[in-house]
A and B are shown apart, each in its own frame.
Chain A
Amino acid sequence: MKVGLEFELNGVRVAAMVAPHKRLIDVLRDDLHHPGTKEGCGEGECGACTVLVDGRAVNSCLFPALEIEGRAVTTIEGLARPGARLSPVQRAFAARGGVQCGFCASGMVMSAVELLGDNPRPTDAEIRHALAGNLCRCTGYVQIVESVRLAADAVDEEQES
């Protein structure tokens, strides 16, 4: 028996009917046409499915859909600025080589957004610890860490202006 669900997705109120066993990632990809969040493992090990719920990074593959009732979700689709401009974190990843095949990118960027929201000037060690739940097989992480550092500077500047 499907259950009605209402929540905020990237700042917009949305509704869906979901079976009780469905996960947040299923609702986003299958019901609400937000395929930017990717499933890498389904077990909470790889972080590819990371989204923010009330500002906190979670694995959407392990988040029961019904728990999103009344809460606010931010996905990769919600970061872009008006006029299809990338957010500072996304721009930094694109500029600094933080993306290769791109499958981990959505999750990696969302984790970086959570980190910089809590800790605008993280050390390298803090960046690595915050991203330890996001696996990447392509980059070796060096340029990802550089991207986050670049993003930290850019977010700083944007906030000053």
Chain B
Amino acid sequence: MRPRRYIGEDHARPDSPDKVAGKAVYIHDMVRPGMLYGKIKFSEHAHARIVSIDTSKAERLPGVKCVITGANTPQVRVGFLRDNLALKRDRVRQFRDEVAAVAAIDPDIAAEAVDLIEVEYEPLPAVFDPVEALAPGAPLVHEIDPRGRPCNTNRLPLDYGHCTGDIDEARRRSAFVVEGDFSTPVVQQACMGTAGCIAEFDMSGNLTMWAKTQIPFLAQRDFNRALMEMGLPGNNSRVIVPALGGGFGTGLDTHCYEYIAILLAHASGHAVKVVYDREEEFAYLSPRQSARTHIVQGCDRDGRLTFRDVRVLQDNGAYASWGATYPTVMLVPITSLYTVPVVRFQAEIVYTNNTYCQAMRGYGNPEVTWAIESNLDDLAEAAGIDPFELRRLNCNRPDTTTPMGLKISTCGLDQCLDATGEKLGWAQRRAADRRTNGDKPRKRRGVGMASLIHVGGSGKIYKSDASGIILKLDDYANVNVYYGGVEMGQGLHSSLSLAVADALGVTPAQVHINETDTGTCPWDVGTHASRGAFMACNAAILASDKLRARIFQWCKQLYPEATDFDLVDSVITLGAANGPSKQLELAKLLRAIHFRDDGDMLTETVFYDPPNELPNWKTGIGNMSATYTFGTQGVEVEVDEETGDIEILRMVSAIDVGRVLNRQTLEGQVYGGIAQGIGYALYEEVKMHKGRILNPGFTDYKIPTAAEMAFPIDLVFVETDDAHGPFGAKGVGEPGLVPTAPAVANAVYDAVGVRITDLPITPEKVLAALAQRD
């Protein structure tokens, strides 16, 4: 392995200068010639029959170019279960159902036109709680399924489960058993750049979509399907991804607003931009799924885990999107966080007339790790074992296989636990049990920790988990990179350019990453599952190796006396057996190759398919990732017993990252994840009443500001050098937020002896629990 030149150090990101100068171009900034602005009319009921839609006044408003409804457009089905329609026809099933849309010459006129559309509804009985939705006689959210067959339940036809060993027997055998019920709320991704797209047809009926997406190629597939439904079979979509303004899962599915933009573009003959404002973003974009978890864990007298039994109930909302598939990722911590020999998992996902949910960072992992790690502390207490010792005892080991069939290659969880314990001063702080802070009456301190396991080598959830890359060398030794993954702020372009520079032997400044475009880049399944850097850099290394081989082959041909070759920072060194070595600029060699007879230009492409497999979701078995990322977070809190206020005093986050690629972007990912974890733990919640979102704005949906993140955070990166990872690296996009909430809850329990089981851990809940305690 060549010594690394760029990988591992602290590098400024190549996209920062433009962003910090206000020059990065987001969808919000883009204008196409003749472009119209689209605005959508949303439902005013959670569940109702659409009696009539009168668009006549809207059509007459000067500046309005077209008004569409389900009645005057071809039916376009949406969602992986095909249970949604871009424009609803006879029924609305949630407050955000799209009923009509307008394209006008400016956004103000479009908004005014939307207000002029009159819709008559006949309200229907609705259901807003998954338990009620499962009760006999509950109103059905869908009366027929997408294939036209009658439904008789609100349960989604999705089968997720796992069963290894005999749960009842393991329970009987256990010395200690603790049960618990936990819940997590609906929270929002809250990207600073809101959702939006521009749809434009050419005169041959081909579509270009500038989209705020994390799945350009799956979106292309979805949009091509829509084109067929619109009577344009064989026409193609091209998806281009500009600067994104954040992702966090919002871009992992295609959305009704995108199909509506397409329908408006088609109906009007103009490019149409649809962009959500902040209120629309909160009210009409799909947030993170909520979850209710019932968990039972047991251990023997020594503290070895004997079994884990988990049941999850999810409020899916009115239509199926990726929220319904959270159990695919929940399986990972449920079966494989710590060594557990007997595991059972059941999941029920239920339609209601609430807002439908989709992907958000962590994708089910934070929801169940909340339950597992909170309950584990309770189990430790029942067994009379220190929670750190219990975790350490049951810590995952390298080169093991878990009940799910996950092949753990490298595993630094033991080091993460030890680092967290040491930096928190665990032994001393826990020993000072229930002590007061002398000069601040009624304030008690405590420490808590929680661990995580997440996919670190992509996560196979589709028939292909591959990523392609093209590296194209020009006459100046610039490397033009075409990669189908998406830079959404996580630093993909940074890691990728450093990987190419290091693997190929050029400087990072010579690596230019092109816009993500399905027309030019090779296929990639999507930027999710923390897979961006892992996939891109692995593909880049393979392609760079190929290029190096060809470069050195040409060297051999042109300089037959040379015996060995090296290429670093665009300079080729030709070694001679007897005599001094010679240096040659790569650019000069490339031009020599280009401008000779029978010349050549060096371009290489690789389609990298990681060594993982698509699990059987019903049995919950399959090695879905090429490697796994582990970590532990520890936190010290101070709880004000009179106000229930929780102050985070300090935090430690130790992660087995395999290898640090770019220290600066890695830290940024973890700090950002921790901030989202803190919000999840303490105050974030989408509040709903009978299906209506009550806090669609930052006024009442609070996310951390710089003032909330004032506590010191100690970051520890454990490098286990995984054989499957690029330069040994694992994916770290999501882990930062996974264990934060249970770490905080465990610290609060240590401080004041109350166990909060429903996120967020608000002062109101703490104070109420303290009153019960006393």
Contact with B along A113-132 (1 / 0, CB 8 A): 00000000000110111011
Within 8 A of B (CB), among A110-151: 124-125, 127-129, 131-145
Within 8 A of B (CB), among A61-95: 75-77, 79-80, 86, 90, 93-95
Provide the residues of chain A in CB contact with B671, threshold 8 Å: 139-143
Provide the residues of chain B in CB contact with A103, threshold 8 Å: 26, 191-193, 245-246
Contact with B along A18-43 (1 / 0, CB 8 A): 00000000000100000111111111
Provide the residues of chain A in CB contact with B672, threshold 8 Å: 100, 137-140
Contact A100 B490 (CB under 8 A): yes
| Chain A proximity of B439: nearest CB distance (Å) | 20
Query: In the bound complex, what is the Cα–Cα distance between A138 and B675 (angstroms)?
Result: 8
Does A45 make an interface contact (CB < 8 A)? Answer: yes
| Chain B proximity of A131: nearest CB distance (Å) | 4
Q: How many residues of A contact B (CB 8 A)?
A: 55
Provide the residues of chain B in CB contact with A109, threshold 8 Å: 20
Closest to A37 in B: B22
Query: In the bound complex, what is the Cα–Cα distance between A48 and B705 (angstroms)?
Result: 13
Most chain B CB within 10 A, of A42, A45, A101, A129, is at A101
Closest to B487 in A: A101
The answer to whether residues A143 and B28 also contact, given A86-B21, A135-B192, A137-B191 and a CB cut-off of 8 A, is no
Contact with A along B481-492 (1 / 0, CB 8 A): 000000011110
Stretch at the interface among B307-315, B393-401, B513-521, B660-668: B660-668
Does B12 make an interface contact (CB < 8 A)? Answer: yes
Does B29 make an interface contact (CB < 8 A)? Answer: yes
Most chain B CB within 10 A, of A36, A127, A132, A137, is at A137
| Chain B proximity of A62: nearest CB distance (Å) | 13
Query: In the bound complex, what is the Cα–Cα distance between A53 and B489 (angstroms)?
Result: 29
Contact B705 A40 (CB under 8 A): no
Most chain B CB within 10 A, of A75, A77, A128, is at A128
| Chain B proximity of A73: nearest CB distance (Å) | 14
Query: In the bound complex, what is the Cα–Cα distance between A101 and B670 (angstroms)?
Result: 15
Contact with A along B673-699 (1 / 0, CB 8 A): 111100000000000000000000111
Does B23 make an interface contact (CB < 8 A)? Answer: yes
Contact A143 B668 (CB under 8 A): yes
Closest to B194 in A: A40
Does A99 make an interface contact (CB < 8 A)? Answer: yes
Contact B278 A139 (CB under 8 A): no
Does A105 make an interface contact (CB < 8 A)? Answer: yes
The answer to whether residues A97 and B190 also contact, given A90-B21, A128-B710, A137-B676 and a CB cut-off of 8 A, is no
Contact A127 B192 (CB under 8 A): no
Does A104 make an interface contact (CB < 8 A)? Answer: yes
Closest to A100 in B: B489
Closest to B26 in A: A103
| Chain B proximity of A9: nearest CB distance (Å) | 13
B: contact size bracket: 35 or more
Query: In the bound complex, what is the Cα–Cα distance between A41 and B676 (angstroms)?
Result: 19
Provide the residues of chain A in CB contact with B705, threshold 8 Å: 128, 131-135, 141
Query: In the bound complex, what is the Cα–Cα distance between A109 and B17 (angstroms)?
Result: 12
Query: In the bound complex, what is the Cα–Cα distance between A125 and B705 (angstroms)?
Result: 12
Does A102 make an interface contact (CB < 8 A)? Answer: yes
Contact with A along B705-725 (1 / 0, CB 8 A): 111011001000000000000
| Chain B proximity of A44: nearest CB distance (Å) | 9
Closest to A40 in B: B192
Provide the residues of chain A in CB contact with B29, threshold 8 Å: 29, 35
Contact B192 A136 (CB under 8 A): yes
Closest to B674 in A: A140
The answer to whether residues A38 and B193 also contact, given A137-B248, A142-B667 and a CB cut-off of 8 A, is yes
A-B contact count (CB 8 A): 177
| Chain A proximity of B163: nearest CB distance (Å) | 38
Q: Pick the residue among A75, A128, A131, A138 that contacts B246 (CB under 8 A).
A: A138
The answer to whether residues A135 and B703 also contact, given A101-B191, A102-B19, A142-B709 and a CB cut-off of 8 A, is yes
Does A106 make an interface contact (CB < 8 A)? Answer: yes
Contact A86 B489 (CB under 8 A): no
| Chain B proximity of A54: nearest CB distance (Å) | 20
Closest to A45 in B: B698
Provide the residues of chain B in CB contact with A99, threshold 8 Å: 13, 15-16, 19-20
The answer to whether residues A102 and B15 also contact, given A132-B705, A137-B676 and a CB cut-off of 8 A, is yes
Contact A46 B22 (CB under 8 A): no
Contact A36 B21 (CB under 8 A): yes
Does B600 make an interface contact (CB < 8 A)? Answer: no
The answer to whether residues A128 and B16 also contact, given A35-B22, A141-B671 and a CB cut-off of 8 A, is no
| Chain A proximity of B624: nearest CB distance (Å) | 27
Does B24 make an interface contact (CB < 8 A)? Answer: yes
Provide the residues of chain A in CB contact with B21, threshold 8 Å: 36, 76-77, 79-80, 86, 90
Contact B192 A128 (CB under 8 A): no
Closest to A22 in B: B108
| Chain B proximity of A28: nearest CB distance (Å) | 10
Does B111 make an interface contact (CB < 8 A)? Answer: no
Provide the residues of chain A in CB contact with B278, threshold 8 Å: 40-43, 45-46
Does B244 make an interface contact (CB < 8 A)? Answer: yes
Does B132 make an interface contact (CB < 8 A)? Answer: no
Contact A145 B706 (CB under 8 A): yes
A94-B20, A102-B15 are known; give 6 further A-B pairs, CB within 8 A. Answer: A40-B193, A90-B17, A101-B19, A106-B22, A128-B707, A131-B705
Interface residues of A (CB under 8 A from B): 29, 35-43, 45-46, 48, 75-77, 79-80, 86, 90, 93-106, 109, 124-125, 127-129, 131-145
| A-B residue pairs, 3 tightest by C-beta | A36-B22, A101-B489, A102-B19
Provide 24 A-B residue pairs closer than 8 Å at the C-beta atoms, listed in order of the A residue.
Answer: A35-B29, A43-B278, A43-B698, A75-B22, A76-B21, A77-B21, A90-B21, A94-B16, A96-B12, A97-B13, A97-B665, A99-B15, A101-B192, A102-B19, A103-B245, A104-B192, A127-B706, A128-B709, A128-B710, A134-B705, A140-B709, A142-B671, A143-B671, A144-B706
